[in-house]
Amino acid sequence: MNENFRHVFVSLDFFGSFLGDAKKNRYIYHMCGIAGIIGPNASEEDLDKMLQVQKHRGPDHMGAYVDVGFATIGHNRLSIIDLSAAANEPFNDNSGRYFLTFNGEIYNYKELRKELKDSYDFRTASDTEVLLAAYIKWGKACLDKFNGMFAFAIWDSEDKKLFAARDRFGVKPFYYTLQKGHFYFSSEIKALQAATESKTPNQKVWANYFTWGSYGMPSETFFYEILQLPGGHFLELSEGNLNIQRWYDFETRVMDNQKQLTFEEAKEAYLELLKDSIKLRFRADVPVGFNLSGGVDSSLLLALVNLFEEKKRIQAYTFYTGDSRYDELRWVEQMIATTENPLKKNYFSASEVRDTAKKIARLQDEPFGGIPTLAYSRIFRQAHQDGVKVLLDGQGMDEQWAGYDYYQTENAGTIQGTGQKNPFRPNVLAPEFAALAEKPEYPAPFDNRLQNLQYRDLFYTKIPRALRFNDRVSMVHSTELREPFLDHRLVEFAFSQPAEYKIKNGTGKYLLRELLKPMVPKDISYAPKRPLQTPQREWLAEELRPLVESSLENLKNSSFSEWFDFPKLEKEWKKYLDGDRESSFHVWQWVNLSFLSEK
C-alpha cells in the first residue's frame, strides 16, 4: 500500500454495555453518518469536527481514512450486531484501492452477493462490502441494481477520484459545499458548518418558504453555500471538476410499467410486490417495531406484516394528544384489536412543545413540519428506550395512490386539508425580502394533471421534506426508519396505474382500500384521510400563546428581523387569536424560525 495512505480509527463505546456480545459475520447495521473533504489540504482536524457534530448518527465508532494531500474520508457508526473492526468504515476493498463511507441499507444485498461471488472474494457478510464489490464490477451501473436507501461516497485512491450517489427518492441525506478549492460532504448541514462556517441564509429559499410553503428545489438548502445531491443523482469529482448526473429515470420506468391490467390483476400484482418489499425490509438482526396511525397506509402495512409467521405481533407505536378531534387512537385500537399486536401509546402534551421544538430545531438545521413532527419524534424516543432499533412506517402511499384532497380539486396546493384558503401570510414580509420570492415551477413530464401533481409531490415537495424530517427525528434517537412503500418497484407500478384505480367516487387510494378491506373492519379500510393529527391550531392560540408571543419578540431582536413588517405580523397574530384559524402554518413558520435563530 502507498506509504501516504493512513488509517485513523477512534472507538467510542457510548452504547457498548447495551449492545451485548458481537456475532461475527452477521448483518451490519447502518444507522450512520458520512463525511469527507477532498482537496490538496484536506484537514483531518476539520473532518474530526464534522464527525463530532453528527456523532448522534453513529456514536459507537468514528473512522477516518486519509490520503495525504488529496482526501480525508470519515464515518460515524452505530453498530448493533457486528462490533468487530472488520465492520468499521471507511471500508476498503481487498486491493486497498477503494474506500467507502456509507449510510443506509441495500436490502437486496444477499441476492447481489450471489451475483458477485465469482468476481469478488468477500470477507464479511455485510451489505457494505456488497455495495463496494458491485461498484468495482459494474461502475455507476451498480446503482440500478440496488434496492435500498443510501447515500455513499467512494474514494479511488489510485485515480484520485470521488464517486458519490444518493438513492432514488433521497431517503438518506447527502449535503456538500465547495470552499477554497475543497469539496466537503456530510450527512447533515451542521457538520459542514462546523468545518466551513457556511451559515449565510439563502434568502430566496426563505422567501419562497414564507410565500409558497416551498422547502427549496432538490439541490437547494436554506443556506446559500450549502447544496444537496438530489435523490436519484450521482456525482463524480476528479481534478477539481465536479460532474453531477441523474441516474434514476423515473419517467421511463413508469412508461415501461403501463401495461393494461384489470383492476383485480393490478391488485394481485401490487400485493405481491408489497409483500416482497416488506420481506426485504425485515432483514435485520435487531428488534423491529412499527409506527401506526389510524390511516389506510399503516393499517395495510401492519396487516401484511402479520402475514409473516415469524414477524407476527411486532411492537406497534402511536402517539396521541388526548384531543378526540384530532387523535387517531380510536382507529389504531380498532386495528390492534384485529391484529393483536402489542401497542405502546405515547402521549404528547402542549407542555412538551417548547423543549422538544428547541431540540428538533438544533437537529433539523432547516424549517420542519409543525407539532405533528414533534409528537412523531416521541415514538422514536420510546422505541430507543425499548431497545427497538428499526421502525417501519407507511410513508409514500398518498403520493402513489392519490390520497390527498387536492388531487381531486383545482387547488394545486401542497398541504392537505386547507381547501382554497392560502395557509401562508406573505403580506407580513418586508417588501424587499418579499420581492425575492418566486413561485416554484415544477416539471410536468406526463400528459395529465393527476400524474404531474403526484410527480411533484414525489420529487419536489411532500416526500423530500417528510424524508428529511423523519431522518433527523429517527437518527437523534439512534433508530432506523424504513419505508416499505417507497420501494421503487411499488412506486413505479402504482404511479403507472389508471386514475380510476386511484380515485373512485371521490375516494382516494381506492385500490389500497380494496386490498385492505378483507383484512380489517370496513371502518378502517374506508376511514377518511385526516389532515390534522394534533390540536396545533388550538394550542398555538391557547396553551402555547406565551410561547408564540415570546418567539415573535425573539424574531424582532434577531438577525432575521429585517425580513418582516412587524405591525402587519402582529395584526395577523391578533386575527388568529380572534378566531381566524383555518390554518396555523403561518404561525408555526414564525415560531419555527425563532427556534432556528437560537441555534
**What pLDDT was estimated at residue 313?**
75
> CB–CB of 235/229 below 8 Å?
yes
**What pLDDT was estimated at residue 4?**
32
Q: Give backbone dihedrals phi and psi of 183, rounded to 5 degrees, phi first.
A: -110, 120
Edge-to-edge strands, sheet with 288-291: 343-347, 315-320, 288-291, 390-392, 480-482
DSSP-assigned letter for residue 292: -
**What pLDDT was estimated at residue 257?**
79
> CB–CB of 535/323 below 8 Å?
yes
Residue type, 71: A
HSE of 399, CA atoms in CB hemisphere, 13 A = 27
**What pLDDT was estimated at residue 422?**
85
Rounded distance between C-alpha atoms, residue 138 and residue 455, angstroms: 29
Segment 577-592, tens digit of pLDDT = 999 998 999 999 999 9
Residue keyed to cell 398555538? 540
Residue 391: C-alpha distances to residues 274, 452, 477, 532, 597 (Å) = 17, 31, 12, 22, 31
Radius of gyration of the chain (CA): 24
Active site residues: 32
Domains, the chain: 5-248 (3.60.20.10), 251-410+442-529 (3.40.50.620), 537-597 (no CATH)
Cα–Cα nearest to 149, from 468, 483, 546: 483
3-state secondary structure of 436: coil
Write out the DSSP string of 331-398.
HHHHHHHHH---EEEEE--GGGHHHHHHHHHHHHSS----HHHHHHHHHHHHHHHHT--EEE--TTHH
Regions of the chain short of the pLDDT cut 50: 1-29, 80-83, 417
**What pLDDT was estimated at residue 21?**
29
> CB–CB of 152/163 below 8 Å?
no
Helices marked H in 117-249 = 127-138, 189-196, 203-212
What size, in residues, is the chain? 599
Rounded distance between C-alpha atoms, residue 182 and residue 386, angstroms: 42
> CB–CB of 34/91 below 8 Å?
no
Cα–Cα nearest to 363, from 352, 375, 377, 349: 377
Q: Is 127 annotated as a binding residue?
A: yes
**What pLDDT was estimated at residue 477?**
87
Residue 14: C-alpha distances to residues 19, 23, 58 (Å) = 10, 19, 10
Rounded distance between C-alpha atoms, residue 437 and residue 226, angstroms: 19
Rounded distance between C-alpha atoms, residue 507 and residue 509, angstroms: 7
Cα–Cα nearest to 113, from 103, 123, 102: 123
> CB–CB of 329/347 below 8 Å?
no
pTM over 0.75: yes
Q: Which residues pair with 273 in a beta bridge?
A: none
**What pLDDT was estimated at residue 88?**
64
Q: Give backbone dihedrals phi and psi of 113, rounded to 5 degrees, phi first.
A: -60, -40
Rounded distance between C-alpha atoms, residue 464 and residue 520, angstroms: 31
